[in-house]
């Protein structure tokens, strides 16, 4: 171990100008705007805009979709806030209320669909595998695009940041899925959505740790 | 109200605010690459960091390691400081998290390493065949603590042996205050059972 005064001299000699991070609100907004542009272009190109209008005729759909989008937005904002050292850890709870509304509204949709089409059809696998793969496939590029700015924050505790990031990209993928999901949600669909979201959160948490690392220190050098 | 009593408190608070402001300005200049300002800032924050580290470590080498750890981290994340926000909370959070990381690493190392048991040097395997020295109470207690599950051992060591407050122990261990309370309660129950069993042995 070198004397602390020598370390200070070394650090002061090696100091270079750095680009300050912009506010987490602005960074999150810019990132979300980017996602909106790309997703909007894809949805327009696929001619899928009218699907949301059709789906919104279903009771409870508007609430469910708004809660999905808001969960994504809140989780992404929370990830940017949590990535900085001096922001409250309570940001972790920001996406929770909308997440609960989203799951509750999806459950209500399932129950309604169960009553309409009966248990046999509700429990068929059908398009559920498609939903599962869609959420995973859309989440991967979004997660990569989100870990790049989060990595720049060098969070001291990456896990809460990555959990929020995983939830954010999974929720945004689920919101985009609704444009390509022209039928009411069944029990199996809901299960597939939840499984895909859980998998995305776990994957982003697990793989993201390799990318979004806390700053290396002396910890572990000496027992 | 006694205004003369509140005056020193007010001036002390003003001094603390001024120090925070000065450090914030020095950090802002350091972000622009101003080496003398950065050096001055690091020299000024070091005693403050040392005081924080001393609350968590007994060994002065650990205190100095933690201080250097925080200085290195501060250097790496200096771009995350927002000059529009107070400097001290930013610094203190970095310090507390790095110290907690160090304590956690030390705990993990301790859990993996095992101390060489003194009885290995004894002539006979059976302890009762080597009645050279009766172990003092503290050694019996420490041996019993070693046998506890890791969460309970950590809780009882931080709170009872190191005499940390619940908040400090929660920071150091990464456990919540309520889980620390539960773990300590269970640890003491287990210790009481273990120690009374030892006493009852023939």
Q: Is residue A96 part of a domain?
A: yes
Residue A119 is predicted with a pLDDT of 61
Min distance B101 CA to chain A CA atoms (Å): 7
Burial class (CB in 10 A: 0-12, 13-18, 19+), A76: buried
B57 touches chain A (CB under 8 A): no
> Which residues on chain A are in Cβ contact (under 8 Å) with B75?
11, 14-15
Taking alpha carbons only, the member of A141, A127, A140 closest to residue A38 is A141
CA distance B82 to B80: 6
Query: Is A12 at the interface with chain B, CB within 8 A?
Result: yes
Q: Is residue A95, in this structure, part of any structural domain at all?
A: yes
User: Which pLDDT value is given to residue B60?
Assistant: 86
CA-closest candidate to residue A138, choices A184, A174, A163, A166: A174
**How close B68 comes to chain A (CA, Å)?**
6
Per-10-residue mean pLDDT for chain A, 223 residues long?
88 92 95 95 85 75 90 97 92 95 85 70 65 90 94 91 95 90 71 88 88 67 36
Count CB neighbours of B128 within 10 A: 8
Residue B80, both tokens: 């995350």
Is A30 contained in some domain? Answer: yes
With 0-12 CB in 10 A as exposed, 13-18 as middle and 19+ as buried, what is B178? exposed
Q: Which two tokens stand for residue B161?
A: 């042996």
DSSP state at residue B148: S
Spell out which residues of chain A touch residue B170, defining contact as CB-CB under 8 Å: none
Asked if residue A215 is part of any domain, the answer here is: no
Place of tokens 């046998």: B147
Q: Tell me, yes or no, if B77 comes closer than 8 A to chain A by beta carbon.
A: yes
Beta-carbon separation of A17 and B36 below 8 A: no
- A13/B97 Cβ within 8 A: no
Residue A177 C-alpha from the chain's centroid: 14
The answer to whether residue A16 neighbours chain B at the CB level (below 8 Å) is: yes
> What's residue A47's pLDDT?
81
Report helix, strand or coil for A153. coil
Express each pLDDT in B139-153 by its tens digit.
Answer: 778 888 888 888 888
Q: Could you say which residues of chain B have pLDDT below 50? A: 1, 134, 202
Say if B176 is an interface residue toward chain A (CB within 8 Å): no
- A67: nearest Cα among A32, A99, A33: A99
Domain B17-114 has CATH 1.10.1740.10: yes
Answer whether A85's CB lies under 8 Å from B91's CB.
no
Q: Rounded to whole angstroms, how far apart are CA atoms A82 and A153?
A: 10
Structure tokens at A70: 């808001």
Kindly determine whether residue A223 and residue B101, on different chains, have CB atoms separated by under 8 Å: no
The answer to whether B30 and B41 have CB atoms below 8 angstroms apart is yes
Q: What distance in Å separates residue A172's CA from the closest CA in chain B?
A: 27
pLDDT at position A222:
37
- With an 8 Å Cβ cutoff, are B68 and A219 in contact? no
User: Per the domain annotation, does A8 fall within a domain?
Assistant: no
User: Is A13 in the B-facing interface, judged by CB distances under 8 Å?
Assistant: yes
* Predicted pLDDT at B43: 95
- pLDDT value at residue B196: 79
Among residues A186, A35, A200, the alpha carbon closest in space to that of A107 is found at: A186
CA distance B46 to chain A (A): 8
B46 touches chain A (CB under 8 A): yes
CB contact under 8 Å between A222 and B90, yes or no, is no
Residue whose tokens read 């009966």: A118
Q: Where are the domains of chain B?
A: 17-114, 134-202
Nearest residue in chain B measured CA to CA from A217 = B69
List the end-to-end C-alpha distance of chain B, in Å, as a whole number: 68
Cα-based distances in Å from B38 to A4, A8, B34, B65, B67: 15, 9, 6, 20, 16
Nearest Cα of chain B lies from the Cα of A218 at a distance, in angstroms, of 5
CB within 8 A of A212, min separation 6: which ones? A83, A147, A150, A151, A155, A158, A161, A162
On whether residue A102 sits in a domain, the answer given is yes
Residue B8 Cα, gap to closest chain A Cα (Å): 29
Q: Minimal Cα distance from A23: which residue of B? A: B82
Helices (H), B55-158: 60-76, 87-112, 137-146, 150-156
The tally of domains found in chain A comes to 1
Q: Which phi and psi (to 5°) does residue B163 adopt?
A: 55, 40
B30, B76, B97 ranked by CB distance to A157: nearest: B97
Give CA–CA dist B166/A180, Å, rounded.
Answer: 52
Asked whether residue A105 is domain-assigned, the answer is yes
Output the pLDDT for position A122. Answer: 54
| Domain around A53 | 23-210
Q: Kindly state the DSSP code that residue B160 receives in the 8-state scheme.
A: I
| Whether B85 and A4 lie within 8 Å, measured CB to CB | no
CATH fold label, B134-202? Arc Repressor Mutant, subunit A (1.10.10)
Partner-chain contact B33 A4, CB within 8 Å: no
């Amino acid at each position: 171990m070198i004397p602390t005064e020598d370390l200070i001299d070394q650090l002061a000699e090696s100091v270079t100008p750095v680009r300050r991070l912009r506010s987490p609100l602005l960074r999150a907004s810019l990132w979300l705007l980017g996602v909106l542009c790309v997703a909007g272009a894809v949805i327009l190109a696929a001619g899928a805009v009218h699907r949301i209008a059709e789906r919104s005729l279903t009771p409870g759909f508007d609430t469910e979709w708004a809660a999905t989008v808001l969960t994504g937005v809140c989780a992404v904002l929370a990830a940017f806030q949590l990535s900085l050292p001096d922001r409250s850890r309570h940001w972790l709870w920001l996406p929770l209320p909308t997440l609960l509304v989203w799951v509750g509204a999806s459950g209500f949709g399932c129950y309604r669909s169960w009553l309409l089409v009966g248990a046999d059809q509700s429990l068929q696998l059908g398009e559920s595998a498609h939903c599962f793969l869609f959420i995973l496939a859309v989440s991967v590029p979004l997660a990569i695009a989100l870990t790049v700015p989060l990595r720049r924050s060098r969070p001291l505790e990456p896990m809460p940041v990555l959990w929020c990031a995983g939830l954010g990209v999974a929720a945004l993928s689920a919101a985009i899925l609704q444009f390509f999901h022209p039928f009411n949600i069944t029990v199996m669909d809901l299960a597939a959505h939840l499984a895909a979201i859980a998998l995305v959160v776990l994957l982003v948490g697990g793989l993201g740790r390799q990318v979004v690392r806390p700053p290396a220190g002396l910890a572990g050098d000496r027992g | 109200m006694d205004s003369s009593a509140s005056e020193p408190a007010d001036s002390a608070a003003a001094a603390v605010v001024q120090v925070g402001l000065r450090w914030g300005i020095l950090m802002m200049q350091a972000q622009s690459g101003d080496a003398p300002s950065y050096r001055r800032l690091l020299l000024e924050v070091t005693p403050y960091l040392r005081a924080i580290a001393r609350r968590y470590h007994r060994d002065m080498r650990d205190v100095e390691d933690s201080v250097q750890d925080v200085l290195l981290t501060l250097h790496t994340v200096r771009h995350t400081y927002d000059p529009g926000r107070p400097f001290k909370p930013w610094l203190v959070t970095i310090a507390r998290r790095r110290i907690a990381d160090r304590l956690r690493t030390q705990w993990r190392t301790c859990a993996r390493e095992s101390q060489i048991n003194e009885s290995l040097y004894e002539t006979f395997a059976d302890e009762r065949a080597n009645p050279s020295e009766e172990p003092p109470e503290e050694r019996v207690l420490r041996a019993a603590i070693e046998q506890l599950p890791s969460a309970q051992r950590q809780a009882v060591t931080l709170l009872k042996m190191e005499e940390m407050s619940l908040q400090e122990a929660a920071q150091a261990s990464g456990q919540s205050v309520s889980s620390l309370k539960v773990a300590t309660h269970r640890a003491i129950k287990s210790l009481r059972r273990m120690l009374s069993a030892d006493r009852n042995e023939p």
